[in-house]
Amino acid sequence: MSANNPPRERLHALDAVRGVALLLGVVLHTTMSFLPGMQLWVTVDSSRSDVLGVLFFVLHGFRMLTFFVLAGFFARLVFHRLGTRGFIWDRFKRIFLPLVVFWFPLLMAVLLILGWNAQIANGGVMPSAPQTPPLSPNNFPLLHLWFLYLLVLFYVIVLVLRTVLTRIPVLARAADAILPSMVQFVGLPLLVAPMIVGLYFQPNWLGWFGIPTPDQNLYPNLAALLAYGSAFMFGWLLHRQTDLLHKLERLWWVYALLAGAGFTFFLSTLGTTPLLRPLEQDKFLYASVYGLAAWSAVFALIGFAMKFWNQPNTLRRYVADASYWIYLMHLPLVMVLQTVFARLEWSWLIKFPLILVIAFAVLFSSYHLLVRHTWLGVFLNGQRRTSPATV
């Protein structure tokens, strides 16, 4: 298959994985009030769970890395479908504008919930508001919308790089030649290297939490920039050689075993309780194991989807369509439910799934009633096609 002529059939598996990666964000944030040990979340539940600590660790290890691989893949698809100007306009509407439109309302909602929890913790009396520095590039809470901000940066970077590479075709040919080895064991270390470098040189790296979330300012931390940037670029190049997806399909179970082994090593040595202190010893070892495990999990999920989900399916398509809206809107709702349930003397085995059921019921209902057949749906997902789309 020519690297410059990807196939036109729709890859239903990748649609499904993109939706799953976003919906798992709801699960991940729901675990955070139940994590054992000392935490910094909006509220801490009366029932804690090591099981949910493990779930948080694993999900955080591969979820957003997977998302950025697919973001790069679909970005190149859109670029070659619409051209440079069309691509810029499409990404402006679908990524940059949602960031601008939804950031402030979501920030206000989160601040109100934080105030509510502070009032509860203060015996029902609202404490004095803490002194906070004014908004600036160094103090800009992006919340869970940080991924949109990174996407905008990566779009700019990839357009610049593409301009350079088109003038130096030998570099593009070299990238195409190296890429096949990256989806096999021989070249996997080369793919993981940027992430390892980023984690190793990240100041005060909280190893248990993997890639530091770049949500506090407009200057992405080194680890996030290298890990997610390399994932995005890999996805962009993967769209040039989509036949490589079938190699992941054949090897998905091997990568699943590698991911399990790597995450098990990490948790068996550092424990299942989140550690809010930087790694001081064996930092390179932990960065290497974490990076290899995370990328193995990415390949395992994509390969699994290629094997079992690469056929048209109405339910999976619906979930994929809804996932963007659900991820954008979920955080305040999850925080409210966590606050309500936190002081109930019930087991996490009841509260955790109940929060998820309520949250997903509200979010899917809001999508179906307010988004899917309205201008909001066009704003977020573009014009829906009534017949199967081609890729």
- pLDDT band with cut points at 50, 70 and 90 for residue 144: very high
Question: Which residue type sits at 59?
Answer: L
Mean pLDDT calculated for residue range 284-310: 96
3-state secondary structure 355-370: HHHHHHHHHHHHHHHH
Assess whether pLDDT exceeds 60 at residue 388.
no
Mean pLDDT of 238-262: 95
Nearest Cα neighbor of 116 from 360, 354, 337 is 337
CA angle, 5 then 227 then 144, to 5° = 100
Q: 313-344, pLDDT tens digit by residue?
A: 999 999 999 999 999 999 999 999 999 999 89
| Residue 261 in this model has a pLDDT that exceeds 50 | yes
Of 68, 93, 246, nearest to 157 by C-alpha is: 68
Structure tokens given for 95: 């990524």
User: CA-CA-CA-CA torsion for 115, 337, 32, 135, nearest 10 degrees?
Assistant: -30
Q: In sequence order, what are the residues at sequence separation of 6 or more whose Cβ sits closer than 8 angstroms to the Cβ of residue 55?
A: 27, 31
What is the DSSP secondary-structure string of 18-36?
HHHHHHHHHHHHHHTTS-S
Least confident span in 8-22, 74-88, 322-336:
8-22
Domain boundaries, the chain: 12-123+138-381
In angstroms, rounded to a whole number, what is the distance separating the alpha carbons of residues 344 and 191?
46
Report the percentage of the chain scoring pLDDT > 70.
Answer: 95
Q: What angle do CA 35, 36, 39 make, to 5 degrees?
A: 70
- Per-residue pLDDT, 391: 30
Say what percent of the chain tops pLDDT 90. Answer: 77
Distances (CA, A) of 89 to 75, 160, 380: 12, 16, 13
| Model pLDDT for residues 169-188, shown as the tens digit of each residue | 888 788 888 899 888 888 88
Distance separating alpha carbons of residues 205 and 193, to the nearest angstrom: 17
Q: Is the Cβ–Cβ distance between 44 and 339 less than 8 Å?
A: no
- If you average pLDDT over every residue of the chain, what do you get? 91
Q: Which of 61-65, 124-128, 267-271 has the lowest mean pLDDT?
A: 124-128
| Cβ-Cβ contacts under 8 Å for 197 (sequence gap 6 or more) | 226
Which helix H or strand E contains 152, and what residues bound it?
A: helix 146-167
Longest dimension (CA), the chain: 67
Residue 190 burial (CB count, 10 A): 12
Residue 82 has pLDDT above 60, yes or no: yes
pLDDT at residue 390 greater than cutoff 70: no
